[in-house]
Amino acid sequence: MAFLARQYKVLAAYCLVVAVVLVFALSVQAAASFIFGAFLSLLAGFFGMKAATYANVRTTQAATTGNKANTLLVALDGGAVMGLAVAGLGLFGMGLIYILFQGTDQFGTVIHSFAVGASSIALFARIGGGIYTKAADVGSDIAGKVIENIPEDDPRNPGVIADNVGDNVGDVAGMGADIYESMVAAVVAAMAIALTGTEATMPNLLAGSDSDNRFVGIMLPLFLTAIGLVVSIIGIMITRMLKNLNPAVVLRSALIFPPIILVIVSAILMPILGLTQNITIALAVGAVGGALIGLVTDYYTSASPIAKIANSAKTGAGTSLIRGLAVGMESVAIPILIVVISAYIADNVLGLYGIALAAVGMLAGTAVVMTVDAYGPISDNAGGISEMSGLGKSVRDITDELDAVGNTTAAIGKGFAIGSATLTVIALFSAFNSEVNHARQLAGAGDLVLVLTDAKVLIGILIGSILPFLVGSTTMLAVGRAAGAIVEEIGRQFREIPGLIELKAEPQPKKIVDIATKAALYEMILPGLIAVLAPPIVGFLLGPAALAGTLAGALAVGATMAAFMANAGGAWDNAKKYIEKGHLGAGHLKGSDTHKAAVIGDMVGDPFKDTSGPGIAILIKVMSVVSLLIASLIALR
């Protein structure tokens, strides 16, 4: 809570500055909507953090009974609080704006401002939380496991508390803001295309006049998101009933059920409402595509690829790193092809609007995805609490099994988040182009034609292609600097606190928490400014064609780079755990040279998967949403 309080103060100052700019650039209503979108994102993170910190100790307590099914249920219920808060608050915010402003000239500007508020908080929460969690994790691991040779989650290590806190601020509050923003952006992209679309981008959804079609197009993504929330609740209930099965089966089922139920419900409802079944097809390709991306990510972070990385660690850290990088690169191909196929089919059935609906379909199960993702840090911290409390091997065995499943589901969640971000940005790009052309038509100018032979478009592509590298670099360096400071402080405590290593004295975890907090808040500023300021700088200086090129370049490089980093990091992490479970034999157990080589791979992978990869995925979404907001202002430049 100390970290959140300090982060929220920084974000409050940022929101105030942006709100003042929006008052003068657009309207008071736009500024208020921006603050509303940001506030709901922060509120969802707050609810999730409180639930996670209550649930992790209760999960540990449940494990003392020896009942694995009930222990799983406690952790899952804790995650469900975050999942339902994210989906519910996002739907509430957009629904309220729809009720208040639908039919007015300001609706487009206001709903776009809401999305920018959600995007801004997601950016800072994900990057700030990612820097905090990985600095604490890597610093604690280096000082504890490598230098002092003490176990993970050892109560003598003053970095353990910061590491546990980091799991929550990164994978609960940060991930929640990320998924919340993706859901909002997908809905807003569909609304924007419906507001400004033509027959080519917005085919008929029902038999009727264009005005009826536009009305349905604006309302439909909200309606489908509401159905998705109901489906998610059903999915959570089904998952709870399966608690006695293998935990891995339970959590994978939780991710698979919602897309299937959603498509069935849509197929039944569309004819009753007089709407075309092409809507169901667009939803289906998004929903099924999201599930497939999760399964592919699961394979690359938990199946034979991690066994190969583990085996490569027998010959040292260098070969382990090479194999992990190769796995990460290979893992990019299929998820991006799934997004491409989903976008292609959706475009064929409903034009650009269909792509936006596919993104809505992919994110319709947001509550379940977030539930499963938040389950991960809850079960992880339950294991840490049992270790620090000295509850014994039988308790730790239960929490370790649940944690192992949580690591896999967390990797699936990251893959899903990146895949949905990519599809959402394709929809946002289409919405940006529609918005620019709408503004040009109102001014009596011709449509903006984007061609690769246009120098401004090419310049924009090159500008966009470097931005993911800048954000990746700044976030990796931030983790490295902060982790170094934490290692020094932990070493100082072991040297200067008499009796600490013998458990005769208490460590000072508050100092580690303070280092991680200050680093996270300071280091998140530069990547945040890159994402927020790049679109207006390019747009106002070079015009809409250059900005469109910038968005395209950032999308192509950012989507592939984010997937590569997230999957490589997840594979390194699980390869280390594969060795710890003894799968390589008695000569390669925990503490062996093979294990130490795998630990180094995991330390590189940690900021890959939890800081830089997610940060880059949010970068491309924030840039697209900001571009959509300023589209009418730069249309004639």
Interval 448-493: pLDDT, tens? 777 888 899 999 999 999 999 999 999 888 888 888 888 888 888 8
Q: What local confidence, expressed as pLDDT, does residue 35 receive?
A: 94
C-alpha radius of gyration, the chain, whole number: 24
Residues 489, 145 contacting (CB under 8 angstroms): no
CA distance 544 to 634: 6
- Residue identified by tokens 């103060």 is 9
Nearest partner of 592 among 292, 100, 280, 149, judged by Cα: 149
Residues 285, 358 contacting (CB under 8 angstroms): yes
Percent of the chain with pLDDT over 90: 22
| Rounded average pLDDT over 252-275 | 84
CA distance 321 to 601: 6
pLDDT of 328 over the 80 cut: yes
Residues 297, 567 contacting (CB under 8 angstroms): yes
Q: 67: Cβ–Cβ under 8 A, 6 or more apart, which residues?
A: none
Q: What local confidence, expressed as pLDDT, does residue 175 receive?
A: 80
| Rounded average pLDDT over 170-178 | 81
Structural tokens at position 311: 């085996």
Structural tokens at position 595: 């294990």
Nearest partner of 618 among 485, 471, 506, judged by Cα: 471
Helices 525-542 and 544-580, packing angle to 10 deg:
160
Q: What local confidence, expressed as pLDDT, does residue 147 receive?
A: 67
Q: What would the pLDDT profile of 208-254 be if each residue is shown by its tens digit?
A: 555 577 888 889 999 999 998 998 888 888 888 888 888 877 877 77
CA distance 431 to 195: 9
CA distance 618 to 456: 25
Q: Is the dihedral of CA 19, 22, 27, 30 positive or negative?
A: negative
Q: What local confidence, expressed as pLDDT, does residue 496 receive?
A: 83
Structural tokens at position 150: 């003490």
Which of the pair, 580 or 503, is modelled with greater confidence?
580
Q: What per-residue string of b and e applies to 125-159 under the rule 16 or more CB within 10 Å gives b?
A: bbbbbbbbbbbbbbbbbbbbbeebeeebbbbbbbb
Structural tokens at position 115: 């999305």
Task: Centre a 10 Å sphere on the Cβ of residue 32 and count the other Cβ atoms it contains.
Answer: 17
DSSP state letter for 505: S
Q: 28: Cβ–Cβ under 8 A, 6 or more apart, which residues?
A: none
Structural tokens at position 212: 């009826």
Q: What local confidence, expressed as pLDDT, does residue 613 receive?
A: 87
Q: What per-residue string of b and e applies to 536-553 under the rule 16 or more CB within 10 Å gives b?
A: bebbeebbbbbbbbbbbb
Structural tokens at position 224: 């489908």
CA distance 46 to 5: 10
- Residue identified by tokens 């295309």 is 193
| pTM of the complete model beyond 0.85 | yes
Answer left, alpha or beta for residue 540, where phi above 0 means left and psi between -120 and 50 means alpha: alpha
| Rounded average pLDDT over 174-180 | 83
